[in-house]
Structure formats: structure tokens, C-alpha cells
Structure 1
């Protein structure tokens, strides 16, 4: 059970309460309602948001000065090594409370997902759903992938039931089954992915997958499950399941729509799901009128963040999940993203990112006790009081989020560590302690 839980997201409790400009209102409406969203990124006024207030080193209040002094001391912890990028902002004034090499770009691991989620919700909209279809033509039933990384065998069973009813009405008792995953180009390793990541940490990025299976060809796997469900309902399957492309004249016989994107993003962040992140990167590229590739997806993320006024200095990404060891993002940029998603002006589209951040001590999330998080003498006091995205790769640990500090004001923080010689669990404990320091409970 969480102590002093964060029962509501901090958005709306602070800053930027001025009247939203008509241009911004139009931009948000377009971003979350337009089905043809490729124009979002090309319209000059689409992201006509107020430029961020310059972050200046103004006088700190006593509680903030204590945070800054304590952080200056605690980043000397040997567990953190010598390569750390960190920053703390006051969420209302955007004043810099503390910084240490904040503009230095480091390997961010899964903190990369914050940018992926921001772009997906902006381009596709929080109500967007991914559709998997089954169509029939010329004796073949084709399962067509629509980028739903949450599709389950129960969903396919419901589709099989509907499809069989249609086949029976047409007097058909046998079909060939094929899969169409042409929505995405043939999957390849992203720049910076180790061979060992594929398909264990992340599966090949295809437009069709069932039950989150980590296999080399998720599309054929899903087609095999679908064929088996059809057979259980009395349909004879002729031949093996193969790859193919649905013909324009094929007749729709069944479909399934995913949960809303808002729900998918929250889950993706809570458990740091790499597969969902990579699928969202490709679907976001398509939604912006580009090709469903790593490169175009990364370009769209950059453009969306830039339109929001996020600093892209020294920012480089090659995937959506953060598995790429070639990714480089400064703590300042991560803090800027969090500042944007927590801005009440963007709440309609982006509040789900804050809602999806793991809470310190939350079982089932990447900050849960099962992962050994916030369980030391220094950090236990922050259980239930910190919301943050984790990031973990060999040689890279990150923690970035929000917490209400001792002065009663919300703070945005980002800490990214690279190349520590300490055990990763020890590095995580040290970063949890830094978050508790920002909260002020570790005084």
C-alpha cells in the first residue's frame, strides 16, 4: 500500500493559468480530433504555443536552497560515478532549482519513451484506436494488421466467431489463411540495438502480433493462432498460413479495435513496454504522413517536441523505446518534455503521460517493490510521493518525473547516469535518493 499517495496528477495545480490563446485551442482540437493528421506538423500555427519562459537562476526559497545544497552533496555518491546529467525545475515558475551538466547528452534508456508518448498522443490523439481486420476474397481469409500491439487471442477468437458466421452464410466451409502486415516495412534492427535485444527485449516491429509474443515473425504467429481458432469452429484450413496482401475488392468479415491510445500509453509507461513504444513510433510516423520507419518516426518526434518548445540541443534518437545505445538526450530535454506534458494547456491530449508515470512504491509498475525501488532508508520516505519514468540499460540508469517539494510547490526533475562501475541496483537506489531529496522528505 502506498503512503501519502499521489491521488491526482499535479497538472492543473500550478502555473500557466493565463487564458489559452485561440491558436492554441485550435491546435489542440486539431491534434486530437482530425482523422487526417499529417497536416498537423506542417500547418504554421498548429503548435502556436507560448514560448517557454527562459529558465533563469533567480533567488531560491529556503526549501529550494536546501534541495540544491543537498543535491550538490549527494551527487558525489560513488555509486553515481562521474557521468551524470541532472536538473530540477520549479513547475510553476520554471525557475532552475538545481542543475548539473543538464545540457550534456547521455544515453537515456527508457526515458526516451516520454518523447514517443508525447508525439503519439499529439499526432494520433488520445481517442485513437488501432484496428485489426479480417477480409475474404478468392478463397482466402486475410488477417490484416493495423499496428495493435495489445491484440489478444481472445480478441482474435471474437473475430473468428464473426468471420465463421459470415463464411457459413456464404456456404463456405474451407479457406486458406494469410496475414497482411504490409502497413509496416520489413522490420530491421534499429541503430544502436544489440543483437541480444532481438527478439527477447523487443520483438521485430510488425503491424500484427498477438498476446505480446516475442517471436521472430509475430505476424505468422498471429495468423497461426487465428487459423487454429477458425478450425475450432469447424472451418477447414487449407495449406499453411502465409504472408500476403489483401486485395482492394476483398470483403470485410470481422474487425477488432484496440483500447484508446490514452489507455495504451498509460500502460506502456507504467511497465515500460518496449514493443508498444516501437509500434507507436511507427504509427505516429504514418499519422504524420510519413513512412512507418524508425527514421521517420524519430523525425516526427523531434518535430512535435520542437513545436512544443522543447530544447532539442544535443538530442538524438534512433528508436521509440530507448533500447538504442546510440540515443543521446540531456536531462534538460527530458525535464522540458515533462514540463510540457504537465502543462494544463495541453492536458486534453497529454495528461495521460503524467497519469501513466509509475508512482514510487506502486506494485506492478517499474517503481514497484518487486524491482527494489524506494526501499532504502534514504528513499522510503518518498513512497507514494514521486511520479517518475525509469530507464535501465547496461551502463545507463535514468529517473525523471515530478514531486511536490517541502515548499508545497511541484518540481520537475530528471537524472540520467551513464557508465557507473557500481551495481545497477545500487545506482537505482542512489537515484531514488535524489528524487527523495527533491521531494524534501530526505532532508
Structure 2
């Protein structure tokens, strides 16, 4: 049973009297028992600081004790807002569950009718060195057959159109996110990553003494094509860690499509969203009330997730039963003031009052115009893990100031502020 379900069960079992008590913030948890002194201080301080910051209705916030799954604090907690890159928590959870942390993505080269075809397999971390090894193996085979010239095409049919998601703006691509295709090299931010990879591959063939006949084109393989070479990506566990740490939009979108395939869905944005919802609800019993997904990265301005759901996703990381599968997400969560999108020089946890939480908070960031989010965990002053999620939409303050407020709220949960 999910944390939310357990909280609701506790509230239902205690009847309407407890429900009326919880209408306002009090010294009682959702199960009707008093909050501990540590948790009560967190609740009181958060209520005061959110009010001082003027966030109010702009903030969906939720804090829970990870061991007991008891609610400590809620502010519009079930209100679904734009989660920005906190969406990647859902994408990573579904991908690791559907594919497995040891899964690797394969890029292949086949030959037929005078043509080498480079086939995209969803490896978003493919490098020039990887392509170079493929080109050398292919060139050796061609030379052994007495061939010195070949046509080159790319097959990226694994992912159907559209390559752009609902809710993406023109300013996103190709720098913030590239149109989603299963073939890319070095993460090059271009509009057509498949043809770009094919051209790099053709150049590497030339370095091996094989010339390219004509330009690189897009096409599909034939049944009689002969396997020539293949390359396997690092394990999914490493790829997810990188995605979470650096909030890599392109990896997230590729993983959404590959998760769809693993779940038996079309490799589209819609198929990926369906696969994520199925995994979260059926495998982890995470409630999806108000959740609307349109991509894997959270760039879609149409996406909505409440703080309670995001907190439930983080809470899964504290459960030893899920460590083998979901551990890479926890390993990748940025550390306040130290790593990833919370690292030095990024204006996070580097001033009063949040600087006290440096090294003490791990959290996934989220940033869009008009939307900021921070969901993670920290050890409270009582030595127990606290899980939190704060999602802000539409605040009138400068985004940098709002980020400082969210960092301060996380420090409040830690108890150092």
C-alpha cells in the first residue's frame, strides 16, 4: 500500500472528528496521534515561512516522516501544479521498473545491397568513440569482402512521430531538448540527431578507408540485411543516475519511449505516459489523482503533478525493498550545495538561511518559466528521514528569490534553520 493510501486509511479509520481537527494545522498527524516535538517544529516553521514568503496558494507542499509515512505538513498538497523537471522522478521510476537497472540499449550496423545501415536503439549516451568502434568493425568486414565504397543510411524507425511533445515551446529545441529520436551521437543538440549521427558514422568510415557513395539518407532495414557490428550502452542504472543528477531532458525523453516499448505500448509520448502511469499505480500503488503527463522530462507546460505524488515517489527511495531497482535515482539525486543541479555556482543552498543544509539535503530540482519545484529527502533533527516536495507556480517574485525560499523550506525540514 502506498504512503498516501496508508495516510488516507488512517484518516478514514479515525472518523470525522480527526478530520475536523486536521482542517487547520494542529499538533496531530493524519492518524490522529500527536506529532513529535521535532515534527511539530517543522510544521510550525514551514507554515510561518510559507506565509512570510507570500507563496500561499501558489505552493503545493507536502512533508512526511519516511519511516512511519505520517504527514507532517501540507499546503495545497493535493493540488496538481506544473512540476517541471520533477517529472523525471516518475520517468526514472517507471524506466527502472519496466526495463531493469541492468538493461542496456543496443546500436547496430547491418549490411545489404551495397548499403550499411546504422540502427538507432535508444542509446542517448552514444559517443563518437562508440561509433568509431562500430565503423572500424564494419570497415574491416567490408575490406575483407573487397569493398571500398558503400552507401550509408540511418534507421530511426524505433520511435514514430511526433518528435515534439504537447506543451513544448519553440524556444526549447534543439538546445533545451532535441526532437526525440532513437539515434544520437555525443548528445549533439541538433534538429535531426539521426542524420547527424549517420554523417559522423560516414566520416569515421572514411577514416578507415571506406568512402561513402552519396549522402546519408533515412531508411529501414530489409529482412536479408546481415549484422555487421553492435554496441551496447552503459547499464540503465548509470544512465538514470546521470539523468537525475544533471536533469538531462533528452535522456528523459528517450527513456520514456523505451519504457513504452517495454510495457507493450507504442513508442510515443502518449504510450510513454500510459506506461508510466501503469507502473506507478500497479507496481507501487502511487495515487495519480490530478496527474497529467505529456512527456518524460517535465518540459511540457501542460503537465501537472501534486506534491503528494512527488513525495510518494521520493518515499519509495527510502524503502529497502526497492533499493536494487530504484537505488540509481537516490544515487543521482543532487546534494545541496555540492553536486548536480544543486552544485556550487548555481545559486542553490549558498546563502542564509539555507546554507546550513549544504550536504544535508538531496533533492530533484525543477525549473520552468513560472514553475519551480524541489522534491527530496533529508535526515531531520530526530535522526529520521523526512521526505518533502514543494512545487511553486506563478509567484510574482524573482525566480532566484523563489529558489532561495524553496531551499530555505528544505533546510526547515532538515531542522538546521
Q: What TM-score comes out, normalization by structure 1 length?
A: 0.87
Cα pair 2:151 2:212 within 8 Å, conserved:
yes
Query: Which among 285, 298, 302 is matched to residue 326 of structure 1?
Result: 302
Specify the SS of the correspondent of 2:345.
helix
Name the structure 2 match of 1:205: 180
Aligned CA distance change for structure 1 residues 360 and 51 (closer, same or farther; 3 Å)? closer
Query: Which among 140, 155, 164 is matched to residue 189 of structure 1?
Result: 164
Query: Which among 404, 407, 410 is matched to residue 429 of structure 1?
Result: 404
Q: Which runs of structure 2 are paired with 1:11-410 in the superposition (5 Å)?
A: 52-54=5-7, 56-57=30-31, 58-78=33-53, 80=55, 82-307=57-282, 308-363=284-339, 365-410=340-385
Q: Structure 2 regions of 5+ residues with no counterpart?
A: 9-29
| Superposed displacement of residue 217, structure 1 | 0.7
How far apart, in 2, do the equivalents of 1:283 and 1:131 lie?
12
Specify the SS of the correspondent of 1:110.
helix
| Superposed displacement of residue 246, structure 1 | 1.1
| Superposed displacement of residue 381, structure 1 | 0.6
How far apart, in 2, do the equivalents of 1:403 and 1:148 lie?
33
Name the structure 1 match of 2:24: none
1:177-223 Cα deviation digits (max 9, x unpaired)? 00000000034321111111122210010010001011111000000
How far apart, in 2, do the equivalents of 1:187 and 1:295 lie?
10
Aligned CA distance change for structure 1 residues 235 and 214 (closer, same or farther; 3 Å)? same
Cα pair 2:109 2:117 within 8 Å, conserved:
yes
How far apart, in 2, do the equivalents of 1:85 and 1:242 lie?
48
Name the structure 1 match of 2:13: none
Specify the SS of the correspondent of 2:362.
strand
Cα RMSD between the aligned structures? 1.4
| Superposed displacement of residue 79, structure 1 | 6.0
Cα pair 1:108 1:322 within 8 Å, conserved:
yes
Cα pair 1:81 1:420 within 8 Å, conserved:
no
How far apart, in 1, do the equivalents of 2:183 and 2:163 lie?
15
How far apart, in 1, do the equivalents of 2:98 and 2:318 lie?
18
How far apart, in 2, do the equivalents of 1:50 and 1:69 lie?
22
| Superposed displacement of residue 52, structure 1 | 4.7
How far apart, in 2, do the equivalents of 1:337 and 1:92 lie?
14
Cα pair 2:348 2:403 within 8 Å, conserved:
yes
| Superposed displacement of residue 49, structure 1 | 8.5
| Superposed displacement of residue 82, structure 1 | 3.9
Q: Structure 1 regions of 5+ residues with no counterpart?
A: 1-47
How far apart, in 2, do the equivalents of 1:249 and 1:51 lie?
53
Cα pair 1:80 1:422 within 8 Å, conserved:
no
Query: Are positions 1:416 and 2:391 aligned together?
Result: yes
Q: What TM-score comes out, normalization by structure 2 length?
A: 0.92
| Superposed displacement of residue 233, structure 1 | 1.0
Aligned CA distance change for structure 1 residues 231 and 215 (closer, same or farther; 3 Å)? same
How far apart, in 2, do the equivalents of 1:207 and 1:438 lie?
41
Number of equivalences: 394
Specify the SS of the correspondent of 1:432.
helix
How far apart, in 1, do the equivalents of 2:2 and 2:74 lie?
26
How far apart, in 2, do the equivalents of 1:429 and 1:170 lie?
64
